[in-house]
Structure 1
Amino acid sequence: MTEQQQQQEEEQSAKPYVKSVCVYCGSSFGTDKSIIKAAEKLGELFYKLNWRLVYGGGTTGLMGTIAYAAMGNTIDGNSLGNVLGVIPEALVIKERNSNSTSDDANTDIVEKINSDVQNGKHNGYTPLSEKYGKTVIVKSMHLRKELMAKESDCFVAMPGGYGTLEEIMECITWSQLGIHDKPIVLFNYKGFYDPLLDFIKKSIELGFISAKNGEIIKVASTADEVIELINNYKIPLNSRFNLKWGQQ
């Protein structure tokens, strides 16, 4: 090993480990405005901890809120956070003035689309902005989920709709099958996920889910508790399938 290589290794080992947290949440804001504040608080905690946010890309709804906060915009306005958005090309609309050195030219279209989302008129497209982190555009929803999972050390679900539920349930199933052993946390803000937790409880009672596998999911009610549960997560032992998944 050369002296230069040794120095590079020492510099790399001196850098603090950065957790990558995948957050699934709605591309809409919902009707309870306090949920927006909860998303903002979680994003700010990621920024302060120097954790990377991995999310579904774009600038709308809770997704845009947590990404904007995780970049540090709501704290110091410097956009120095660590955020990776992954979005299928079919959902992308680019509306940036190439002559502008800031994202000010993007503001009107972001506000318009956010307004459409709020009023149920959104056509599915979302703008991109550097204030929301780095964005990777992929070909399909399947590739989006695959990349998000590979880039993440843990998974969190905030309130959302069909997509959010499908994504977090897939992560839970993958854990049960032994594909990964990463922490999974439901951010059960104001009891949003109580019906899902009742379903899981009923499935355990009827023998469709083992009691141990019910412990795959940890439940938080605040942003601070999300961080605590990620840091102290322990995978249930002697319950998950010990299958061989090759390169999975």
Structure 2
Amino acid sequence: MCVYCGSRPGAQPAYAEVAGLVGRWIGAHGGQLVYGGGLNGLMGVVANATLAAGGTVVGVIPKALVEKEWAHRGCTELHVVDTMHKRKRLMAERADAFIALPGGIGTFEEFFEVWTWRQLGYHDKPVGLLNVGGIYDGLLAFLRTTVEQQFVNDWQMDLIRVDSDAERLLESLVNDAGVAVATRLDQI
């Protein structure tokens, strides 16, 4: 599970709580977290919770951010790469599904990129948006406006899963990833 989230904790304690829940869920289900490799903020919370619950953690961080985001040296695997493009590519390659938690510009960019890649057919992996405490309500309203104004189609919106319940969203993404893998294998 690739998790995109903030390198800061955010203003509400609920953000760190849900990051911990996501990490514990991944670890308890024998999963692997793929994330940006940082120790700070929600990134550190989700990584530490995954490790504490027995999961593996793959961190991918550019050299330029090793000091700024405090690279998490406790990851099962920590990949230090040259560029953000290499970071995002490696994260996408190592993941079966993607989920965006609360975060900033980097989180938005990563979420929109994997969603764009999916609608272009570059991958068929599920993409989720965890709307903790309504943090993404404004974004979702804007996206509905883009559909109304005919810049985005309903089928494109259907490519993402949005939920405020972390466990329900994670289960949905894992189930969708299983279906996507089975579909690809059936086509071989």
What TM-score, normalized to structure 2? Answer: 0.89
- Residue 185 of structure 2: aligned partner: none
- Residue 46 of structure 1: aligned partner: 26
Structure 1 letter corresponding to 2:14: S
Once residues 53 and 185 of structure 1 are traced to their aligned partners in structure 2, the CA distance between those partners, rounded to angstroms, is 15
Structure 2 letter corresponding to 1:64: G
Matched-pair contact (CA < 8 Å) for 1:153–1:182 = yes
- Residue 28 of structure 1: aligned partner: 8
Once residues 4 and 135 of structure 2 are traced to their aligned partners in structure 1, the CA distance between those partners, rounded to angstroms, is 14
Matched-pair contact (CA < 8 Å) for 1:38–1:223 = yes
- Residue 215 of structure 1: aligned partner: 158
Which of 150, 154, 160 is 2:93 aligned to? 150
Structure 2 letter corresponding to 1:90: A
Deviation at 1:231, TM superposition (A): 3.1
- Residue 58 of structure 1: aligned partner: 38
Matched-pair contact (CA < 8 Å) for 2:131–2:164 = yes
CA-atom RMSD, angstroms? Answer: 1.4
Which of 65, 75, 81 is 1:91 aligned to? 65
Once residues 212 and 198 of structure 1 are traced to their aligned partners in structure 2, the CA distance between those partners, rounded to angstroms, is 17
132-141 or 53-62: bigger deviation: 132-141
**2:132 aligned with 1:189:** yes
Structure 2 letter corresponding to 1:216: L
Higher helix proportion, which one?
2
Which of 58, 72, 88 is 1:128 aligned to? 72
Deviation at 1:125, TM superposition (A): 4.2
- Residue 237 of structure 1: aligned partner: none
Deviation at 1:47, TM superposition (A): 0.5
Matched-pair contact (CA < 8 Å) for 1:86–1:136 = yes
Query: The residue matched to 1:212 in structure 2 has which SS?
Result: helix
Query: The residue matched to 1:218 in structure 2 has which SS?
Result: strand
Once residues 24 and 128 of structure 1 are traced to their aligned partners in structure 2, the CA distance between those partners, rounded to angstroms, is 15
Which of 101, 104, 109 is 1:161 aligned to? 104
Pair 1:145–1:35, CA change in 2 (3 A) = same
Larger Rg: 1
**2:56 aligned with 1:82:** yes
Structure 1 runs (4+) greater than 2 angstroms displaced: 231-234
Q: Which runs of 5+ in 2 are unaligned?
A: 178-188
